[in-house]
Structure 1
Amino acid sequence: MWTVIYIASGEKTAESIKQKLTEEGFLVKLRQTNIAKQQYEVLVPESELDEVQEVLKDILHSSHL
């Protein structure tokens, strides 16, 4: 089961988050949710949720997306 971990405002931001999480060894999917607002859901397997949350927090606080 895939779980939404983050909603990104823009494809560039979503792709950047996906790339960084993938580099950390996580499976990641993107799903566009609002075409008009360019919003994308970043999804990860539910079994990796806790680990991904910690890594994502570091990514969001340490870089400019």
Structure 2
Amino acid sequence: MWTVVYIAPSMEEADEIKRLLSSEGLLVKIKNIDSSSGMTPNSSIEILVPESEADEAMEIIDSI
């Protein structure tokens, strides 16, 4: 099961967080919160990781 670990205010920030988590070996998915409008540069984006990696992801995010 996938768990939301962060909600980014923009696609740019979501991509940055995804790259960081991926570089640490975590599986990462991003999902637009408002799927009806598609992914736009200023839409809120959920950062999801497998439930088993959520604690590690939160520690990495908290360190930035």
TM-score by length of 1: 0.83
Counting helix residues as a fraction of each chain, which structure ranks higher? 1
| Higher RCO structure, 1 or 2 (CA under 8 Å, sep 6+) | 2
User: Following TM superposition, by how much is the alpha carbon of 1:49 offset from its aligned partner in structure 2, in angstroms?
Assistant: 1.0
Q: Residue in 1 aligned with 2:48?
A: 43
User: Following TM superposition, by how much is the alpha carbon of 1:28 offset from its aligned partner in structure 2, in angstroms?
Assistant: 0.4
Q: Residue in 1 aligned with 2:60?
A: 55
Which of 3-12 and 29-38 deviates more?
29-38
Q: Residue in 1 aligned with 2:15?
A: 15
Counting strand residues as a fraction of each chain, which structure ranks higher? 1
Which of 47-56 and 22-31 deviates more?
47-56
Q: How many pairs align?
A: 59
Q: Residue in 2 aligned with 1:62?
A: none
User: Following TM superposition, by how much is the alpha carbon of 1:43 offset from its aligned partner in structure 2, in angstroms?
Assistant: 0.2
- Runs of 5+ unmatched residues, structure 2: none
CA distance in 2, matches of 1:51, 1:21: 9
Q: RMSD over aligned Cα, in angstroms?
A: 1.4
Identical-pair percentage: 46
CA distance in 2, matches of 1:43, 1:22: 11
Runs of 4+ displaced beyond 4 Å: none
